[in-house]
Structure 1
Amino acid sequence: MQVEEITQILRESPSVRLIKSRSVDFFLSFVIEAFEGQAAIMQERLHMLLENRLDEQENTLVEDDSEMTRLVESNEQKAKRLIKDWTDKGFLTNYQNEEGEVIYEISSHTSKLIDWVVSLKKEDYIGTESKFKTLFSQLKELVEYSNEDREKRLELLRTKKMEIEHQIQRLEMGEEVEVYEDYQIEPRYNSLNKLAKELLSDFKEVDDNFKGIIKEIYERQTENAEKKALLNYIFDAYGELKQSQQGKRFYAFGEFLL
């Protein structure tokens, strides 16, 4: 990664903008609690939850822009302003459902930052053994599926077949079934949990991109854009997203599930 690319990311990324914000601790604490167990919240409820939080933690919110006129704001007004500000900055996303109600979600940028902050928490375990086995397994998989040699692939498959047959024979001869100890289960469970969160974050980013396309379509419809131009935009945007590395990974996962 070149210096210019790093500079651009640090300058433009909403995640970086959020972590540099003076109110990042208040914001993260609020959204983690508000969105716990649910992916989306209706506008009125989110305003109410934030207003209640402001009532409970009076004068604890430090904002980046402290205008004197805001000192006379009610917490209801402040909650609505903050939600709009967080959405404009890319920390939250919103859309309208079929009934025209505004729904809010945590943006992919905020989701990534939350995962990163959680990862900084000191863990009580060190999963060296499970990490090494995962690394070794992925290296074997990389070697196997990056080689187009048919005979080499057959050789690897025959080796796997022999290993499985030997395991079956040992079990049939009365050998005890090997199971993980607690110290082996915990790091694997935590690793799976971490991967699941990363997967959800990836899905969230793709979802945000689709919603961005849909929002652009609505705006063009409102502007009475020509149908031909609108259709061209839809197909071009969809095709571009599908051909991106992010889109390819998303659709590959979908095909795997099917």
Structure 2
Amino acid sequence: MNHDDVEALRRDSAAWRLLRADTAPLVLSFLGRVFVEQNVRSIAEPELVSLLDDELYALAERRDPAAPPLYPRTPKAYLDSWSSPDAGWLRKYYRPGSDEAHYDATPAVEKAVGWVASLSSRAFVGTESRLATVFDLLRQLARGTESDPEARLAELEARRAEIDAEIAQVRDGRVAVLDDAAQRDRYQQLTAMAAELLSDFREVEANFRALDRDMRERITGWDGAKGDLLEQVVGSRNAITDSDQGRSFHAFYDFLLSRERQEEFTELVTKVQGLDALGGGDRRLRRIHYDWLDAGEQTQATVRVLSEQLRRFLDDQVWVENRRVMDILRSIESNALTVRTLSPARDEVPFTAEIDGLGIDVVLPMERPLFRPRTHERIDSEHVEPGAVDFDTSILFEQVHVDPERLSTGVRRRLQRDGQVSLRDVVAEHPLEQGLAELVTYLSLEAPDFEVVVDAEHHDEVTWASGDVQRVATVPRVTFARVGGRTAAPPGEPTAPDHPAAPRGTSTTGTTSTDEETV
């Protein structure tokens, strides 16, 4: 880090401004307790004003009444000052559908609180656990990047030998446990890393907001094609997700969503918190994984809200462009109506327009293709020779053809005795020989001496045998009704006496469904 980098941080960093502020003790203690220690991600303005009022009152009670007030401004004024762009320590926003302001701490507060907390002296400074962590990370890097199978097998066998030796020691009654110093050392590192994870969530959320703000600025000032804009927007939305930080965040969040991992973490924390050398430990650590889940869900919710807001923003841009197109079209129509009522001779309106010169396509006569008469191929069918390849011709005789006249004849025979008859009775008297195709043909019969009436509100079942399988079709109730005084008899049969004609109906098409049941 050079001089210019430090100067830029001193000028632009919100955390640096916080450390230099006159109200830094109040900001660090109050915001650190409310947002950092209690892991609050959103709090309403009235509640935060009340908490700050209690804090200011408690500070005033400890001072000499004759001394001037240390913090003379109102709680609301302090919150407005801390959330202003000049400070940048609080983020003031309004939730969708609510007119009440909410606050959240910025990553600058997390950094400043963490740095100030690191300045206090510690009674115990552990180094051995961090050195072991460094070695573990080095081993993971070396093992995870090794592509030689022989080297990986040798390393795994060495680890198995170490585990076997440790198992043998435990079986002999020699159990190596951590002493009190080692326990406190590792526990100190554990709590520090757990707290850092919470601050990382707030910084990831801030990165998402910064990306969304940059995209809005780009959309507002864009004057190119929409396709290029959409490509840049989608690429920017995927940039943070596909980055190292984005992939690490999603992998960590998926890791937390595992129920087995949560139960294992709870069990391990409960066991560690009960160690005598830790004296009860940090109470926040008991629920730290729930705080991680809340922070991760808050970050995911922020991404969803930003995506929805961006979609509405793009919709508004499209609406504005469509409105402009409609205004141009109305202007053209209005001018056309105005010009139509004018006379060129009287109003001296030139009904002419100038356009750019167009290129003339010159086609010379010799460039055209010459006439080519069509050739007629003579087909000689007198000397047809059979092919030499054998093929199965039985499929040509397996085509299913249903004769509608045969089915109409069966219906007429039955209508000679009755004025109307149902399809189920006809099939019972003349069983289906060609299956579903014959049943569908019954539904489409047309004849001048009878009509097909379909009742869609009632259904009948029609059965037929197909080999060893009994098939059943559920169809709307179909009735064949005689038209006029008598029905023509089939050829070669006498005509039956008259019967009352059945009521006329409307012929519709029914839907059939088949169910198979093995006999």
TM-score bracket for this pair, using the shorter chain length: 0.7 to 0.9
In structure 2, what is the equivalent of residue 134 of structure 1?
133
Q: In 2 relative to 1, CA 24–42 (structure 1 residues): closer, same or farther, beyond 3 Å?
A: same
TM-score (norm 2): 0.41
Task: State yes or no: 1:209 paired with 2:210.
Answer: no
Q: Secondary structure at the match of 1:103?
A: strand
Q: 1:158–1:96: structure 2 CA closer, same or farther, 3 Å change rule?
A: farther
- Map 1:169-248 onto structure 2 (within 5 A): 169-172=168-171, 174-213=172-211, 235-248=234-247
Change (3 A) 1:77 1:43: closer
Which of 54, 60, 64 is residue 70 of structure 2 equivalent to?
60
| CA positional deviation for 1:220 | 9.9
Deviations 1:200-236 (A, max 9, x none): 11111001222445567899999xxxx9899667534
Alignment-mate amino acid for residue 146 of structure 2: N
- Amino acid of the structure 1 residue aligned with 2:197: L
CA distance in 1, matches of 2:130, 2:196: 17
Change (3 A) 1:52 1:215: farther
For the residue of structure 2 that corresponds to 1:93, the secondary structure is strand
CA distance in 1, matches of 2:142, 2:9: 33
| Structure 2 alignment gaps of length 5 or more | 61-68, 221-225, 259-519
Aligned partners of 2:113 and 2:101: how far apart in 1?
Answer: 24
Q: Is the 8 A contact 2:211 2:236 kept in 1?
A: yes
The answer for the alignment partner of 2:53 in structure 1 is 51
Aligned match of 1:64: none
In terms of fraction of residues, the more strand-rich structure is 2
Residue type at the aligned position of 1:12: D
Aligned to 1:112: 111
Task: Give the unaligned 5+ runs of structure 1.
Answer: 62-70
Displacement, 1:31? 1.0
CA shift in 2, pair 1:194/1:76, >3 Å: closer
Partners of 1:113 and 1:42 in 2: CA distance: 23
Tell me the C-alpha RMSD between the 2 structures. Answer: 3.4
| Distance in 2 (alpha carbons) for counterparts of 1:176 and 1:249 | 40
Partner Cα separation in structure 2 for residue 253 and residue 190 of structure 1: 22
Aligned partner of 1:92 in structure 2 is 90
State how far apart, in whole Å, the 2-side matches of 1:43 and 1:214 are.
25
Shift of 1:104: 1.5
Partners of 1:217 and 1:230 within 8 A in 2: no
Find the counterpart in structure 2 of residue 41 from structure 1. Answer: 43
- Whether 1:22 and 2:32 are equivalent positions in the alignment is no
AA partner of residue 105 (structure 1): D
Greater gyration radius: 2
Contact 1:91 1:110 in 2 (8 A): yes
Amino acid in structure 2 at the alignment position of 1:192: L
User: Deviation at 1:195?
Assistant: 0.8
Q: Distance in 2 between matches of 1:179 and 1:90?
A: 48
Partner SS, residue 53 of structure 1: helix
Between the aligned partners of 2:53 and 2:253, the Cα distance in structure 1 is 40
The one-character-per-residue Cα deviations of 1:111-168 (angstroms, maximum 9, x if unpaired) are 1111121122211113132233222222222322343333222221121111112222
Matches of 2:125 and 2:75 in 1, distance apart?
46
Aligned residues of 1:42 and 1:102 also touching (Cα < 8 A): yes
CA contact (8 A) 1:90 1:107 kept: yes
TM (norm. structure 1) is 0.77
Counterpart in 1 of 2:460? Answer: none
Q: 1:123 is paired with a residue of what secondary structure?
A: coil
| Deviation readout 1:79-98 (Å, 9 max, x if unpaired) | 3433433x653212233334
CA distance in 1, matches of 2:185, 2:167: 28
Q: 1:170 to 1:119 in 2, by over 3 A?
A: same
